[in-house]
Amino acid sequence: MTSSFTVQNADGYEQLMGRWSKQLAPPFIDFAGIADGERVLDVGCGTGSLTFALPQAANLGEIVAIDFSPVFVEAASQRNTDKKISIQQGDACALAFADGSFDRALALLVLHFVPEADKAVAEMCRVVRPGGVVAAAVWDHLGGMSGMRMVLDTAAMLDENAARIRSHYCFQPMTRPGEMKRSFMANGLTNVEETSLTIRMDYRSFSDFWEPIAAGEGPLGKYVASLPQDQRARTEAAVRAAFEAGEADGPRSFAAVAWACRGVVPSA
- 97 dihedral zone (left: phi>0; alpha: psi -120 to 50; beta): beta
Pairing of the two strands 128-139 and 252-264: antiparallel
Q: Which of 172, 163, 238, 158 is nearest to 206 (CA)?
A: 238
Q: How far is CA 253 from CA 91, 206, 241, in A?
A: 35, 11, 15
Shortest distance, position 228 Cβ to ligand SAM, whole Å: 28
Q: Which residue among 12, 41, 85, 91 contacts ligand SAM (CB under 6 A)?
A: 91
**Region near ligand SAM per CB under 6 A, out of 85-93, 174-182, 192-200, 201-209:** 85-93
**φ and ψ at residue 206, rounded to 5 degrees:** -60, -40
Does 102 contact ligand SAM by CB under 6 A? no
Does 110 contact ligand SAM by CB under 6 A? yes
Measured CA to CA, the distance from residue 108 to residue 28 in angstroms comes to: 8
Q: Which residue is nearest to ligand SAM (CB)?
A: 46
Number of residues that bind ligand SAM (CB under 6 A): 23
Nearer to ligand SAM, 114 or 227 (CB): 114
- Strand (E) positions, 24-82? 39-43, 62-67
**Region near ligand SAM per CB under 6 A, out of 63-71, 125-133, 146-154, 190-198:** 63-71
Does 206 contact ligand SAM by CB under 6 A? no
Residues that bind ligand SAM (CB under 6 A): 2-3, 5, 17-18, 21, 44-46, 49-50, 67-69, 72, 91-93, 108-110, 113-114
